[in-house]
Chains A and B, each alone.
Chain A
């Protein structure tokens, strides 16, 4: 059996995670983006690629703002 390489399963709810709008906050600013979440409990999955790219950029931007 092959799996979708992007598939992630929330082990708490045994549900396949789906992309959903998620809110983030840093240094008094808030913003949102779509990331994988559990449709039941809302647990979020953020891969390291996202942390090192867009999230890092926004963090630096806000620190220098």
Chain B
């Protein structure tokens, strides 16, 4: 376990509102699950809805008439239009349900005797609950008939009909006697419920409604076995019925284990809901005046918002996609970290953990700011340290990071001239130049013209190591950045990539930094490309490793007219920009100043979403990653403008017209530029290093010295390269395999086709190359690749 694994799952989701009751349910004396009831009504399951109502309130005929419906007072719809009319829905259910008789339960009788003092609403409700559990119940009342004060509120025929119907399968003993002393009853019965009504006898006992710390149980009194509720404790009619129903559980707990401390029902909710998310929907008017028809009940039911906290499930693609709430995620992750199987390998959430994009949106939208992304990141790291996370999920990206920080692609220089330190250091990140080296050279040229004291650092910020849970590798990258930063006199970093900014702020907080785009905006430094150091367009294919003439293709690109007629674009905020409102505004200002019209995306600014690159989930969950991209690019038909090159290239690879902001500022590429493949990205980084050295420091790097393929040249036709890209195999891997085969002689001949096959394990992966000799030049070491493939399994016994 990493040291940082201090955050247990339960801590991570502490305060989660997912299981909090809806406002109506919390306010209801019966704790009626209104959203569940309404759902039944919506599907016209009126009998099921009535049964749920009957089970909750005991006496549906009485309660539907007498309840003052506190649920309607707290209904969130009152802040939008009108509350869902539970009053009418409940009354309508009595008519709409065709089966209203209670179920008869065939249970054996229990030999415990319970006395109920008072046959009013609370006493009857308690008797009903206990009778249904087949306890021996005796009701004492000074009146000859049951009902108590119901006689003051409803016609006798109405309430007696309901009482008789609910008791139709039950039997109890009714004793016409006024109880003045509990002692004889206590001697005869196992438990007593005092329900003597408003102003009734308390027998010197103090009723507890949750405030009495001495006897904290529901409806408990200080006398063991004696409970009290209903009007005598201040409840109104419906609350009294609810008291009588809920005390059954407390009495049963006392009978079974002798305890009086059954918790009182939760009467509040911490649920939070924004009325702004609720669409206007006027109340349904009953055509009959006093009750809904079936169709009207359905219509009214549909107005119910079914209040539940589901912000994370609605906004987070991962939790929504898997249908897992934070608590369920924590359960699964903990079962994965601490598997319960004998073999210790019964893990269920490995792929889930490796599928988080770490975009942070879950934390932003959660009303109590639960950070599931952080929990998953820490869990990921713990799995990596246990050796339980499949290496294949991140190996490609970690190798890519190592390459970016290798001598072939990385570069750290003070500003051109004789300076050894600098005030600013441009850190464009490893991805920008991989897409098109000119993004970096054009931006650096512009920066130098305004801020000549600006150095350049090419390399990776370590985000792939963080996403892979590889703490030691992350530390190495960060220490290297810190060393170089200190060597240059602790300059302020100028970031082009919001993820790099986020990484440095998080892990190296003492390194100051700013973004490139506001600097360019402030200095009015756009449109300089083509004037001095334009550089060539991005490279493609194998031949790109050799440095090209940086002064070719100096011609400025034509303006982008014609790609989109009305010049309307959408700014797609990268997820790492979510907490950078100044940056977001700056980019919008720059795009607008360039003559574009902005159409806001539904999820922008503080709700910025990940393009699917975050967390590098493409290997662990390729299908899920594709779903994310699809949902992002489908939000608006206009071209997107981003300021994260990953977003741009990922959208472009899915066919969405997209530009990086630097495409606009320096007139570099149009929105339909195909994204570079993986090999081109590698080669572009090599190109960028040599281009920057040549352009800004007038140095030439001898590329030939850097290759060690023993003079072997491998030609890869374009379709084969495309196929390799889909398999996430680099041309350089294939070159290494072929060079290995040709140097060692370890290759296989297919006599039928004359093709050679050979393999080599590079890192953890085993790569296979199917290739042929160049027939036109058989005496040379030139070959052509026919196919490449790779597998994760290791071949033993070679």
Report if A and B associate in a common complex.
yes
Interface residues as binary, B577-616 with A (CB distance below 8 Å gives 1, 0 otherwise): 0000000000000000000000000000000000000000
Query: Which A residues lie within 8 Å of B798 (CB)?
Result: 42-44
B759 within 8 A of A: yes
Size class of the contact patch on chain A: 35 or more
| B350-A63 in contact (CB<8A) | yes
B interface with A by C-beta (< 8 Å): 345-347, 350-351, 387, 390, 392-393, 744-752, 756-757, 759, 768, 770, 787, 789-798
| A63-B390 in contact (CB<8A) | yes
* In the bound complex, CA of A58 to CA of B390 (Å): 13
| B748-A55 in contact (CB<8A) | no
Query: Which B residues lie within 8 Å of A59 (CB)?
Result: 392, 791-793
* In the bound complex, CA of A17 to CA of B798 (Å): 14
* In the bound complex, CA of A34 to CA of B770 (Å): 21
Instruction: Say whether chain B's binding surface is mostly helix, strand, loop, or mixed.
Output: mixed
| B750-A8 in contact (CB<8A) | yes
Known: A8-B748, A9-B751, A11-B745. A25 touches B789 (CB 8 A): no
Sort A-B residue pairs by CB-CB distance and give the 4 closest, nearest first. A23-B796, A3-B751, A63-B390, A26-B793
| A23-B751 in contact (CB<8A) | no
Task: Please name the residue on chain B nearest to A1 by beta carbon.
Answer: B751
Known: A7-B752, A17-B748. A42 touches B768 (CB 8 A): no
Query: Which A residues lie within 8 Å of B787 (CB)?
Result: 48
* In the bound complex, CA of A63 to CA of B352 (Å): 11
| B746-A65 in contact (CB<8A) | no
A-B contact count (CB 8 A): 89
| B768-A8 in contact (CB<8A) | no
* In the bound complex, CA of A44 to CA of B387 (Å): 28
Query: Which A residues lie within 8 Å of B345 (CB)?
Result: 65
* In the bound complex, CA of A51 to CA of B749 (Å): 19
| B351-A51 in contact (CB<8A) | no
State how many angstroms separate the Cβ of A50 from the closest Cβ of chain B: 9
Query: Which A residues lie within 8 Å of B794 (CB)?
Result: 24-26
* In the bound complex, CA of A34 to CA of B186 (Å): 82
| B793-A64 in contact (CB<8A) | no
* In the bound complex, CA of A5 to CA of B746 (Å): 21
Interface residues as binary, A43-65 with B (CB distance below 8 Å gives 1, 0 otherwise): 11110100110011011001111
Contact of A44 among B750, B790, B795 (CB under 8 A): B795
Query: Which A residues lie within 8 Å of B751 (CB)?
Result: 3, 7, 9
20 A-B interface contacts by CB (under 8 A): A8-B749, A10-B748, A12-B744, A12-B746, A17-B748, A22-B796, A24-B794, A24-B795, A25-B793, A26-B793, A43-B746, A44-B759, A45-B748, A46-B768, A46-B791, A48-B768, A48-B770, A59-B791, A63-B390, A63-B392
Docked complex: A17-43 residues within 8 A CB-CB of B: 17, 22-28, 30, 41-43
* In the bound complex, CA of A64 to CA of B621 (Å): 12
Query: Which B residues lie within 8 Å of A9 (CB)?
Result: 748-751
Most A CB contacts (10 A, CB to CB) among B351, B387, B747, B797 go to B797
| A11-B796 in contact (CB<8A) | no
Query: Which B residues lie within 8 Å of A12 (CB)?
Result: 744-747
Query: Which B residues lie within 8 Å of A58 (CB)?
Result: 793
Task: Please name the residue on chain A nearest to B393 by beta carbon.
Answer: A63
State how many angstroms separate the Cβ of A44 from the closest Cβ of chain B: 5
* In the bound complex, CA of A3 to CA of B752 (Å): 6
State how many angstroms separate the Cβ of A5 from the closest Cβ of chain B: 5
| A26-B745 in contact (CB<8A) | no
A42-B798, A63-B350, A63-B392 given; 14 more Cβ-contact pairs under 8 Å:
A5-B752, A11-B747, A12-B744, A25-B793, A41-B746, A42-B797, A44-B759, A51-B790, A51-B791, A59-B392, A59-B791, A63-B351, A63-B393, A65-B347
